[in-house]
Chains A and B, each alone.
Chain A
Amino acid sequence: MRKALPLKVSVSGVRGIVGESLTPQIAARFAAAFGTYLGPGMIMIGQDPRPSGVMLKKAVISSLLATGCQPVEVGILPIPTILFLTKEKQMAGAVVITASHNPLEWNGLKFIGPEGLYLKASQVEEFLDIFHQGEFTFVPAERIKPILQEKNAGELHLQKILSQLNLKAIRRRKFRVVADCANGAGATLMPQFLKELGCQVLLLNTEITGSFAHQSEPVAENLSTLCEKVRHFKADLGLAQDADADRLALVDEKGRAPGEDFTLALTVDQVLRKKKGPVAVNLSASMVIDDIVRKYRVPIFRTKIGESNVVEKMLEVRAIIGGEGNGGVIWPAVHPSRDSFVATGLVLEHMAESGKTLSQLIQSFPRYFMLKDKLPCPSELAFQAVTELRRRYSKETTSTVDGLKIIWPDSWIHLRPSNTEPIIRLIAESRSAARTRKILVSFKKELLEIMKKLS
């Protein structure tokens, strides 16, 4: 007997293993629920380059047509581009066939609402309710609309970003850039984007073959080839996109990867340099962001983990820049979503306007050391344990927006039960690696004691 098959339904959509848990029938049911939820209107359909993308896309299109919606196919495009276009072209919503960085056997559907925003938790609940009821609104044959196709729709997204940047300054520098697109959807636009920015470019993994060249998480371990190429090409900058092209990691001119937190730090600094306004980031983003906002004397808002939480807060407080420490930069001047092209543009603009190299810019920020760990723990116990910790540390400066974050003057720890796995995630940061490790170890120990006591 095979073990339970993984089909993950979450706020950001549905993911599964193609042919096992994710079949054309499942995709069609979700799309029929989505079409029923949104009602007749234009719905953009995009995909990442996975080989199973076309198969799932066709099941989705069939259901959207059957529910009276008009699908607008844009082909393989980055997620931020599709989010942007959904708003720009006044779509009723969008569906993207993607499993971002999951292995190739996986695929998934992401559902995007009007205004190019991910569905809010309350909207997801309504939409899933229709899915579970299985009562879909199918229209009679004469009200079925034709499929529309748009070629080169991504152009509009790039033009919008370019219009928000100091193009003259960037182009004058003729930056040498090595870009690793991880064979993902970013490869459709990154070459053109860098060309428009007047860069001399060496491109890696731009073939959209549907098989990823390497683990597409843009974390330091996966960047060794890029670092080497940056040194070899004598580049000013190395860029690594993830498969969806919503996140970006950087490599400096010496071939060193400073970590994804600096993508956010550099872009926040660059935006605030020119304009003052609120900032919103999630609880786990590095405290280097706190230093930056202090410098510009602007308010900062810390949100629950998850892109839609950050976006929601940003819209609420009219933040002018924000994002996540994993390299996901959100600049509402273009569109309120994580966008690796926006991050690229802002980093280059920062280098161009300051006249500094990337390593100089990074050195100008205080140095912090962040460590992440996890502790296996059944989810009910995890919540109890974190609640107990909240009680114990109630006298400290804490945030209970998402699990528990304890904040000291020059360090912090964030403990949070995972939504998707039976684990507790721990993230700590301080001015030294040894100290961060010490914080982490002591809290892990404390958690284990609490768990023992509780069970």
Chain B
Amino acid sequence: MKLLKLSLSGVRGVVGQALTPELVLDFACAFGTMLPAGPIMVGRDTRKSGPMIKEAVISSLLSTGHEVIDLGLCPTPIIQFLTKKYKVRGAISITAGHNPAEWNALNFINSSGTYLNEFQGADLLDIYHLNRFRYKSARKFPKIIHEINPAEVYFSWLRNKIKIKEIGQAKFKVVVDPCNGAGSKLIDRFMSELGVELIAINNEGNGYFPHDPEPRPRNAGEVASLVKATGAQVGFLLNSDVSRVSLITETGETLSEEYTLPLIASYYLGFQPGPVVTNLSTSMMVEEVAKKFGRQVIRTRVGQSSIIQTMLQEGAAIGGEGSGGLALKNFQPAFDGWVIMGLVLEMMAISQKKLSELVRELPRYHIVKDKIVCPPHRLHSLVAETRKLYPEKEINSTDGLRITEKDFWIHIRASATEPIIRIIAESPSKNRAQLEVDRVLSFLSRLMS
């Protein structure tokens, strides 16, 4: 099976199988054809397949008449920031975020610096399927521009948005694992601007992933033991394009990536008006936090694009997902790991509390996440079948199936990025959540066998 997934965030696949030079050329040509004449930015994470894909992307953008601003190795949130700042037509970020090393993806960014909205996404697919691209004739060709220093421009902006004085005075020591992804080395600069002592591991930026680049407890072992050993106040685990962060407390406890959103919400809602946006799979911790500040929580489909579009429509203060990615009003409409790290440190500095103390103030729930591999063409029909397990229950079908009961909720949905069905349940009781997930899992495997 050739793994290829299309979504609003872009086109994602296993390199050499689904993701071939020609597929990349076609999608980048479709993007170049869709956008009006003008420059387009291109950046990538550190994956070994990055240059292969970048060369094809640049070729296509030039061939459709666009000047290309080559940002080189650059985390997605920085690309998104620069796209808006330099008023370019759009950008392509080459990264598969949290997916394993054999994957890569094209992430399409519009002129506002956000992922494509559903209309733009549909346009792009139409042009791709039509396979009729607007090529430039060869008499004159656009150029490739290398002059922008992405880190310089981005960090001089971010520096002024967070309370670096207070953070500096706190004399923090932090451990960061950028997983040799796009955050490598830039993390040195960021932490030194904040006046924070940095202990970094997997900071070579060579694209060799010592573990899957997905910020979650099972990948946090190295950071956790270093936090304890060095007496650091916090540990950060990043994905390969710095759009997601999971946290490790000063005691070495690896927090579920679900904590990132409610933790920052519990601080940020204190001074920023507006509702909270999250997806249907995310923990209800954030609901409790929002309730404390008298705010509404709006639940959307899964994916950065849905969260950001809803945030912009609703004027939300914060929007994010249980995967450890979030965006804040007054920063930029993008999931941004730099902002997350900055805000966690700011929160600790202002409150003068330890991270474990701040976490203890959050409600405790037990969330169980599982998944089952399934043929891509049956993904949605199998999800729909699970309705039978919950007859006469009220369901939310915005994105798969979500059932809310008194003592638990469960969300069953087809992944947009992999051929799997995700099952997420949460309850104050761990057993209860696990029971529901197991029930759905065995039901699905029976259907498939």
Contacts and interface: CB of A to CB of B under 8 A. Distances in A.
Interface in B37-78: 47-49, 51-53, 55-56, 58-60, 62-63
Interface residues of B, number: 37
Contact of A23 (B17, B55, B104, B135): B135
A65 B26 CA distance: 17
Nearest to B65: A19
B60 A24 contact: yes
Given A59-B21, A140-B16, A141-B47, A20 B135 contact: yes
B136 interface: yes
Contact of B137 (A18, A29, A59): A18
A62 B52 contact: yes
Interface in A104-145: 104-107, 136, 138-142, 144
Interface string B11-51: 00011110011101110010000000000000000011101
Nearest to A138: B16
A283 interface: no
B52 A65 contact: yes
B15 A54 contact: no
Contacts of B47: 141
B141 interface: yes
Nearest to B133: A23
A282 B165 CA distance: 80
A141 B101 contact: yes
Contacts of B48: 141-142, 144
B101 A55 contact: no
Contact of A24 (B16, B53, B56, B103): B56
A438 to B, nearest CB: 44
A142 B101 contact: yes
Contacts of A20: 135, 137
A242 B62 CA distance: 27
B161 to A, nearest CB: 36
B63 A55 contact: yes
Given A140-B16, A142-B102, A29 B62 contact: no
B15 A141 contact: yes
A385 B269 CA distance: 90
A388 to B, nearest CB: 43
Looking at A61, A104, A139, the one whose CB has the most chain B CB atoms below 10 A away is A61
Nearest to A139: B16
B16 A59 contact: no
A19 B104 contact: no
Contacts of B22: 25, 28-29, 32
A98 interface: no
A146 B51 contact: yes
Contacts of A61: 52, 55
A237 interface: no
Contacts of B59: 24, 27-28, 55-59, 62
Contact of B55 (A18, A52, A59): A59
A314 to B, nearest CB: 35
B275 to A, nearest CB: 41
A63 interface: yes
B53 A62 contact: yes
Contacts of B138: 17-19, 50-52, 104-107
B140 interface: yes
Contacts of B14: 140-141
Nearest to B103: A141
Interface in B139-155: 139-141, 144
Contacts of B102: 140-142
Given A17-B138, A18-B138, A54-B141, A62 B56 contact: yes
A47 to B, nearest CB: 12
Contacts of B103: 141
B55 A51 contact: no
A29 B26 CA distance: 12
Contact of A55 (B17, B51, B62): B62
Contact of B21 (A28, A54, A105, A142): A28
A51 B15 contact: no
A54 B61 CA distance: 12
A239 interface: no
Contacts of B137: 17-20, 105
Nearest to A211: B139
A401 interface: no
Contacts of A433: none
B60 to A, nearest CB: 5
Contacts of B21: 28, 31-32, 59, 62-63, 66
Interface string A62-95: 1101100000000000000000000000000000
Interface string B353-394: 000000000000000000000000000000000000000000
B69 to A, nearest CB: 15
Interface string B85-128: 00000000000000001111000000000000000000000000
Contacts of A17: 137-138
Interface in A1-48: 17-20, 23-25, 27-29, 31-32
Contact of B25 (A18, A25, A144): A25
Nearest to A29: B22
Contact of B139 (A27, A31, A55, A104): A104
Contacts of B55: 58-59, 61-62, 65, 147
Contacts of A65: 49, 51-52, 55
Contact of B51 (A32, A136, A147): A147
A312 B16 CA distance: 37
Contacts of B17: 138
Given A61-B55, A138-B20, A51 B63 contact: no
Contacts of A139: 16
Nearest to A20: B135
Contacts of B58: 55, 58
A24 B141 contact: no
A66 B20 contact: yes
Contacts of A18: 63, 135-138
A51 B16 CA distance: 30
Contacts of B20: 32, 66, 136, 138
B25 A59 contact: yes
A275 B140 CA distance: 49
A52 B142 CA distance: 9
A144 B20 CA distance: 12
A24 B29 contact: yes
Contacts of A59: 21, 25, 55-56, 59-60
Nearest to A65: B52
A61 B24 CA distance: 13
Contacts of A66: 15-16, 20-21, 52
Nearest to A137: B16
Contacts of B53: 62
A24 B63 CA distance: 7
Given A23-B135, A51-B140, A28 B56 contact: yes
A17 B139 CA distance: 10
A403 to B, nearest CB: 34
Contacts of B141: 51-52, 54-55, 210
A324 to B, nearest CB: 28
A66 B54 CA distance: 12
Contact of B24 (A62, A105, A144, A210): A62
A139 B14 CA distance: 11
B289 to A, nearest CB: 40
Contact of A144 (B52, B62, B63, B133): B52
Contacts of B51: 65, 144, 146-147
8 A-B pairs with least C-beta separation: A19-B135, A18-B138, A138-B16, A62-B56, A58-B59, A65-B52, A51-B141, A55-B62
13 contacts: A18-B137, A20-B135, A24-B59, A24-B60, A28-B25, A54-B144, A58-B59, A62-B25, A104-B138, A105-B138, A138-B17, A144-B51, A147-B51
Given A51-B139, A62-B52, A66-B21, 8 more contacts: A19-B138, A25-B22, A25-B29, A31-B21, A32-B20, A55-B59, A58-B59, A104-B139
